[in-house]
Each structure stands twice: as C-alpha cells, then as structure tokens.
C-alpha cells in the first residue's frame, strides 16, 4: 500500500449468508460504522477490493464466495481434546464446557485460537477451530459513510484511530 492509496473508510452494512435473502449474520448501523485503514490487511482482502474505489455516500452490494472469504470448513480443525485440559485449580470448568460456547485457547507454541464447543463426552470435548464464517458465501449490502486520508499516526500504526 502506498501512501497515496491509503484511505480510511467508514461504512455500514448488513452481512447475510449466501445472498440478499439469507440469514442475517451481522449488522453495522450508521451510529457506529466500521472504520478501517484500506490496505492494512486487517480485513478480508476480497472485501477491501470491493469497497476500495467507492466514494462517500455510495451504496454497495456484493457477494464473496466462501473460498475467497474464510475458506471451506476444514475437518482437521475439528478435534477431540481431553476433558482434563479444562480443569482449572483442580476443578472442571463446567461454565466453559457448554455446547456452542466459544473458548479462547492456546496451542503448544502459545499461539491463540478460538474454538467452539461442539460436543462434551465422558473423556473428550469436540472443538471446532474453524473460523465461524468458514464454508459460507457472504453477501454484503451497505453504504460508505466517510472516506478520508489517514493521519501519519494511522499510517505508522497500521489501523484507523477510533
């Protein structure tokens, strides 16, 4: 990203699964638009490319297929973990072990991962470490609220200042 290409873009949108009539996954309203530094790599690249040339006030509508969004569901990211790793201070963390619950965890190298509890067995807990939007085609419809040049500080830090 060159300095001349850098823009801070604020927008509103509705995100639906599969198309304009799909299940509503997320809604960003005008009173709290999402604001990002274009090209900083903090948002999905396909999403950024769709909004890169839009002007302030311009509406948008587009679909990002799963392969270009968060990929397909990876069966290898669904794993059985020993129930014993959920023991904290000698007691099973039953408040964490609820189907559908999202748990922040670390791998053996200390890398953070978010996993969804899928099933709780006698000895094992089935966890899904896929991105929550994996396997979904994503339909966005919204409007650019603001578009401006970034400050030098925003360029240095790599994200828009709240």
Q: What is the mean pLDDT of each run of 10 residues along the chain (162 residues)?
A: 71 97 96 89 88 93 97 96 93 93 92 96 96 96 94 86 73
Tokens 């925003």 appear where? 154
pLDDT at 2: 45
Contacts of residue 55, Cβ cutoff 8 Å, sequence gap at least 6:
144, 147
Q: Phi-psi region for residue 36, left (φ > 0), alpha (ψ -120 to 50) or beta? A: beta
How do beta strands 34-37 and 59-64 pair? unpaired
121: three-class secondary structure by DSSP: coil
Helix H or strand E encompassing 157:
helix 152-157
pTM for the complete prediction?
Answer: 0.81
pLDDT at 160: 85
141: three-class secondary structure by DSSP: strand
SS3 of 29-75: the string is CCCCCEEEECCCCCCCHHHHHHHCCCCCCCEEEEEECHHHCCCCCCH
Domains of the chain, earliest start first: 8-70+135-157 (3.10.50.40), 75-128 (2.40.10.330)
pLDDT at 4: 52
Q: Phi-psi region for residue 80, left (φ > 0), alpha (ψ -120 to 50) or beta? A: beta
């Amino acid at each position: 990203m060159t300095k001349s290409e850098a823009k801070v873009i604020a927008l509103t949108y509705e995100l639906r699964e599969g198309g304009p009539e799909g299940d509503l996954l997320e809604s960003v309203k005008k009173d709290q638009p999402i604001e990002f530094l274009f090209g900083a790599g903090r948002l999905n690249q396909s999403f950024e490319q769709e909004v890169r040339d839009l002007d302030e006030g311009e509406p948008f509508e587009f679909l990002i297929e799963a392969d270009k969004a968060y990929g397909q569901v990876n069966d290898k990211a669904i794993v059985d973990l020993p129930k014993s790793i959920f023991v904290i201070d000698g007691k099973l963390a039953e408040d964490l072990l609820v189907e559908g619950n999202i748990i922040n965890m670390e791998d053996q190298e200390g890398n953070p991962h978010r996993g969804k509890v899928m099933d709780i067995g006698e000895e094992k807990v089935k966890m899904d470490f896929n991105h929550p939007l994996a396997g979904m085609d994503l339909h966005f419809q919204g409007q650019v609220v603001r578009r401006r040049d970034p400050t030098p500080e925003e360029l240095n830090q790599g994200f828009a200042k709240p």
